[in-house]
Amino acid sequence: MRHTILIATTTLLAAGAFVLLGGALRESPAGASALPAERVAATFDPAISSAQNAASLVLRLQQRIRQSPEDAASHALLGLAYEQRARETGDASYYPLAQTVLQRGVDLDSENATAFSGLASLALSRHDFGEALVLARRARELAPTEARTLGAIGDALVELGRYREAFATFDRLARLKPGLPAYARVSYARELRGDRRGAIAAMRLAADTAVPGSEAAAWTALHLGKLFASGGDHTSAERQFRIALAHVPGYAAAFDGLASVEAARKRLSRAVSLERRAVAAVPLPQYVAQLGDLLERVDRPRAAARQYAVVAAIDRIQRANGVRTDLELALFRIDHGRGLRAATEQALTAFRSRPSVDAADVVAWGLARSGRCAEARRYSGLALRLGTKDALKFFHRGMIERCLGNDGAAKGWLRRAVALNPGFSPLWSPVAARHAR
């Protein structure tokens, strides 16, 4: 999931409606994309943000460290560059490399705020949100005037389900340093609260601050597209995804977005082709799973099964490199009916460590598909407690009510899902439309 500027900034700040993104290399290679569950990338040190690309920066920093092995600052910057390479390539093996050099930066200088900030963003990428919060707060203690750590603190609080604190943190970030990271977080906060129009307005501000042709510009266009798509406006969504590709040709996430638009329009062969381009650029599990679902829709079950096997293989690689994938893998297994009881318990375990609205929704869906419908309804209430307008969450609630025998309530929720975004999922949109009648 993104945004004259002087006038718009003044208006936004005066209204007291602040808040979300994070930097990346200003001129990153094609195909750069956030890793699985992150709505935003980590906020980098300015030296990283202004670098031409992470690959060349890694080489320069490695050389600098060979020449000056006690250089704590270079260790911290190299760790950040490794994290950026992980985002660009989808290769989780960069995470242990980042961990090693960032920890070395701390060992060389126990007050190295950049290294602690890097460790916090690494923990976010690995979905260790409790640790991320501790590390980000330590970085904040060491550099209280630096704004970048506030974003990491707020992001961790969101995943920990501590929304009041998270949104207050985003407010402080916007007051301290208005700009793309703050505006994108404002957008996300508004989206979570069900204010899509406000979310779009804030993301447009973020887009206005991004350097043309940069990954940040592509990212903001991408998330504007996702906001439009989540409200069923696929024409505007397509326009934004193409803007993202104009900024960064080959941008994998934009191909994924275009595939979802084509699927919503029932142009499934075109959707498959676009999703293949996303997977070829950066083989993230969500792209691979989406490709499998699209192949199922065009009646190619064997090809779909091969993609689903790849999802499992990628998950094993991510876990081997320290990424906590319990929630994401649980949702995949629940959606595809693979070991429902175990997958639901996996989701419940993940929820205990990251009790967000999204985690609650995965638990609710697993319980519903396992026949534990009364429990599912309670978790669905937690998933919807912020007023988020999300067709998939509405669909899950509708199927839960159906499971409980509440046909009227079920149709009401399913109709809300279809009305909001009739093409919300290649797997479940047809089911929602059928049962909403």
Q: pLDDT tens for residues 297-318?
A: 999 999 999 999 999 999 999 9
pLDDT digits (tens, 9 = 90+) for 22-68: 332 223 333 333 323 344 443 334 444 434 578 889 999 999 999 99
DSSP 66: H
Are 289 and 311 a contacting pair, CB within 8 Å? yes
Distance separating alpha carbons of residues 320 and 322, to the nearest angstrom? 6
pLDDT at 267 over 70: yes
User: What domains are defined for the chain?
Assistant: 5-215 (1.25.40.10), 330-436 (1.25.40.10)
pTM value is: 0.86
**Token pair listed for 269:** 């062969």
The answer to whether residue 10 scores a pLDDT higher than 50 is no
Torsion angle defined by CA atoms of residues 144, 146, 149 and 151, in that order, rounded to the nearest 10 degrees: 120
Pair of tokens at residue 193? 């609260």
pLDDT digits 0-9 by tens, 361-395:
999 999 999 999 999 999 999 999 999 999 999 99
Give the span between the Cα atoms of 244 and 397, in whole angstroms. Answer: 33
**Which helix (H) or strand (E) is 210 found in, with range?**
none
Question: According to the model, what pLDDT value does residue 215 have?
Answer: 87
Please compute the mean of the pLDDT values over residues 74-89 and round it to a whole number.
92
Q: Which of 6, 288, 47 is nearest to 148 (CA)?
A: 47
What local confidence, expressed as pLDDT, does residue 93 receive? 94
- What tokens were used for 300? 């190619």
Model confidence at 15, pLDDT cuts 50, 70, 90, reads very low
**Mean of pLDDT values over 126-149:** 94
The pLDDT value recorded for residue 230 is 96
- The pLDDT score that the predictor gives to residue 279 is 96
Is pLDDT above 50 for 135?
A: yes
